[in-house]
Structure 1
Amino acid sequence: MTKDLSEHGSFPAKDYHDPPPAPLFDAVELGQWSFYRALIAEFLATLLFLYILVMTVIGYNSETDPTHGGNLCGGVGILGIAWAVGGMIFVLVYCTAGISGGHINPAVTFGLFLARKVSLVRAVFYMVAQCLGAICGVGLAKAFQNGRYSLYGGGANVLNDEYSKGVGLAAEIIGTFVLVYTVFSATDPKRNARDSHVPVLAPLPIGFAVFVVHLATIPITGTGINPARSLGAAVIYNKEKAWDDQWIFWVGPFVGAAIAAFYHQFILRAAAVKAFGSLRSQSQA
């Protein structure tokens, strides 16, 4: 009976609805309060993220510095830093998802823009707000830890001398791919419809993705996967070493985000195949 009903169209062909593609340029957004509220949310979320990240890194380095009475076996360690960063992303995405989408990362915004989830206007303004928030967040951490800030590197991303630039770039590309792919999967309307019986909280897998990527890449690059995070730390620390390989922390995340957007939209969701099929059906009609 179920088969007959479905064949005669009693059941919808799809049990989910994809939102329409965002316009490339939507000037109407500039006149809406919700747009500026989203910008404020992105700014503040990135500020808080960088503040917690830098304070955690400086605290760990000061606790393990033997020249200042520290213990090499003390501190939270890389595992603790990864938990702090991943946990903070979980909290911030949970808090801001309903306001701005909870991007908190220009690479995430770029990936969603390529997938036509946000307009060019929103993407550009989000990235500016995120970078400004990151700079302010690191500045706040420096104000609280002024004596230790410069001593312990200011949380700036630098390529470990033991690794080549190619390895560092690849680590940033792969790490960002994992993050942005997780964002697409966790927010996929098809998944939400099919798994509606399972209480899936989207910020949770996103936070875990950030956690595991930090475990893998902290020894290589200090883990960027977020151009705003790398820029904010470099601007406030402002030492030559922090700027030497800054390009890695922009090129890597944007390339990783682009690959994730292509993979999810055109391979997993078969957007190109669907578009081609639609054109064929229209031409045959």
Structure 2
Amino acid sequence: MAENKEEDVKLGANKFRETQPLGTAAQTDKDYKEPPPAPLFEPGELSSWSFYRAGIAEFMATFLFLYITILTVMGLKRSDSLCSSVGIQGVAWAFGGMIFALVYCTAGISGGHINPAVTFGLFLARKLSLTRAVFYIVMQCLGAICGAGVVKGFMVGPYQRLGGGANVVNPGYTKGDGLGAEIIGTFVLVYTVFSATDAKRNARDSHVPILAPLPIGFAVFLVHLATIPITGTGINPARSLGAAIIYNDKHAWSDHWIFWVGPMIGAALAAVYHQIIIRAMPFHRA
């Protein structure tokens, strides 16, 4: 145990502890110190158990996220299901609630990203290495595919008939509408992540709560309320990929690029905006 703890300090998610976790206050003291940027490549991570443990946490979290949320969507669409009365609000609560719970559970292990767009935004902000970012995204996508696959296993017949929870641009909206909705929705999510976990803000404003998963979960909930009628709400490329692969419909694949390009643009804009607005603010305390 002592050796593992020492390894965690030297390598992996805890090496730059003030830049990594999403679910806890970045610094415990009130005197702000600018955290160092994560290195672009950190070869030492590849020999660290904490690195692989974080990847496993991202896989399991995304697996559970897809399992609960896609199963809720399928229940909503089945007229003979007890879940058919949950409505859009119930689906939004499923997505937001699961993000709240899973970020809370995995923040201290992997940072609780559960979303390639979040990982990409944090990478652009130099809060994790490229090595870790790529590993996280791969594990998130694999977890999403497995989660959607388990749902299909439960609902072999209705799954294909009900759309498999795949994200598509709904009738009455253009692909441009869908792309715009994904960009803005992901911007809201990733900007909330940055704001809820910013070390300078936590040090400056003592009233800022340390429980970051709560505002992040609410952001996911609210974005789903707004954009489910447009795209079914992606804002998470792994969620969209997992559902699309298991559903495997030509119509879903024709729109699929929107659910990668939109979230990545939204995450990049959030990273830039946070850097300009929050990180550029002078630090002072009352």
Over the matched positions of the two proteins, sequence identity in percent amounts to 74
Query: Structure 1 residues 253 and 198 mapped into 2: Cα distance closer, same or farther (>3 Å)?
Result: closer
Matches of 2:161 and 2:154 in 1, distance apart? 14
1:160 alignment partner, SS class: coil
Query: Could you say which residue in structure 2 is the equivalent of 1:181?
Result: 191
Specify the code of the residue in structure 2 equivalent to 1:261.
A
Matches of 2:209 and 2:117 in 1, distance apart? 27
User: For residues 133-282 of structure 1, what are the structure 2 equivalents within 5 Å?
Assistant: 133-197=143-207, 199-270=209-280
Q: List alignment gaps of at least 5 residues for structure 1.
A: 1-13, 275-285
Query: Could you say which residue in structure 2 is the equivalent of 1:49?
Result: 65
**Divergent runs of 4+, >4 A:** none
* Number of residue pairs matched by the alignment: 254
CA shift, 1:15, in A, is 2.0
CA shift, 1:74, in A, is 5.1
- Aligned: 1:93 with 2:91: no
C-alpha contact 2:77 2:84 (8 A) present in aligned 1: no
C-alpha contact 2:167 2:252 (8 A) present in aligned 1: yes
TM-score by length of 2: 0.85
Query: Could you say which residue in structure 2 is the equivalent of 1:122?
Result: 132
What are the Cα deviations for residues 247-285 of structure 1, in whole angstroms up to 9, with x where unaligned?
0000000000000000001333129x99xxxxxxxxxxx
1:37 alignment partner, SS class: helix
TM-score by length of 1: 0.85
Instruction: Give 1 or 2 for the bigger CA radius of gyration.
Output: 1
Specify the code of the residue in structure 2 equivalent to 1:15.
D
1:155 alignment partner, SS class: coil
Query: Could you say which residue in structure 2 is the equivalent of 1:11?
Result: none
Q: List alignment gaps of at least 5 residues for structure 2.
A: 1-29
Query: Could you say which residue in structure 2 is the equivalent of 1:10?
Result: none
RMSD, aligned α-carbons: 1.9
Matches of 1:136 and 1:171 in 2, distance apart? 27
Aligned with 2:92 (options 82, 86, 111): 82
Matches of 1:35 and 1:70 in 2, distance apart? 41
1:223 alignment partner, SS class: coil
CA shift, 1:238, in A, is 0.4
- Aligned: 1:18 with 2:34: yes
2:171 alignment partner, SS class: coil
1:212 alignment partner, SS class: helix
Specify the code of the residue in structure 2 equivalent to 1:75.
S
Matches of 2:208 and 2:275 in 1, distance apart? 23
